[in-house]
Amino acid sequence: MTWVEIEPPFQPLFSRSGWNSFDEVVAHFAGGSAREHKVLVRPVTISNPAGADRNVIGERRLDVYFKQYRFAPPSWRFWRRASKARREFDNYGALAALGIPVAQRVAVGEKRDALGRLHSAFIITRAVPDSRTLVEFAARRPKEAVRRQLTNELAELTRRLHEAGFFYHDLVWRNILVSGQDDPRLVLIDCPRGAFARFGQRRNQLRDLASLDKSAAAHCRRSERWRFLVRYAGEGAAHEQARRLARACQDYRRRRWPEDWRGK
């Protein structure tokens, strides 16, 4: 049992290229390396010479990322449950609807056996142009004004996620891209574990904030990490509220990652 879902802007390109089934997509995008990796992440450039499609996707070359999960034998873990690829695809759609900058969806697919056990799944997203992870960007020692801008932007994005009831569950700097040089902007990627949650919101909130702080501890001054929490708490919040949040994040980090904790 297989299925493939292609986003409407990319359907003409896939149809013309003969990528209409799960196996056809995997054969092209995974190449000969599909059987060598349980999880394969591969950049691929698609040539798009047809002028008719150029008006749809905006350019003649399309840079994408192909991510495939493989299970041998097929996994009962995802029986009657969406694969990680499917969840990430759906999460991108939900976050984009909230106005959160995320990687653009291209296609997703699953392959299951007759019992419904997951054999393989893939997701294709459009590459974010002129981008690097936030870790790589911070290593270049950007100017103070840029650091402040991105700190504020990250705080606002995180607050908007949490106000909508969405929690990333892996909100670390390697899953945040900085796009552009003159006017850099943040883009969120790699969110198969994220979900909307009605219960346990405080715990989920602290996990996201503590994950961000764990990354920030290696690259940011304490004053910058404090400014992030103040901005996250909101302009009308008292500083005491931000201080309680800071203490809670530190406590969470100490409990969750004791091997990494050095009072940072």
CATH code where residue 219 lies: 1.10.510.10
pTM, full prediction: 0.90
Spans in the chain with pLDDT lower than 50:
52
Computed over its alpha carbons, how large is the radius of gyration of the chain?
20
Number of Cβ within 10 Å of residue 51's Cβ equals: 8
Check residue 41 and report its DSSP letter: E
- Structural contact between residues 176 and 150, judged by C-beta atoms closer than 8 angstroms: no
150 shares a domain with 112 = no
Please give the mean pLDDT across all residues of the chain: 89
So what's the pLDDT on residue 248? 93
Domain boundary among 69, 96, 126: 126
Range of the domain at 109: 2-126
Residue 37 and residue 146 in one domain: no
Q: Which of 221, 211, 192, 223 is nearest to 252 (CA)?
A: 211
Per-residue model confidence (pLDDT) at position 33: 63
User: Is the same domain home to 105 and 146?
Assistant: no
Cis ω for the linkage preceding 258 (within 30 of 0) = no
* Domains contained in the chain, number: 2
Residues 135 and 106 in one domain: no
**pLDDT at residue 233, rounded to an integer:** 87
Q: What percent of the chain has pLDDT over 90?
A: 62
pLDDT at 39: 87
| Domain termination residue (choose one: 64, 94, 126) | 126
Are 95 and 192 in a shared domain? no
Distance from CA of residue 11 to its chain's centroid?
Answer: 23
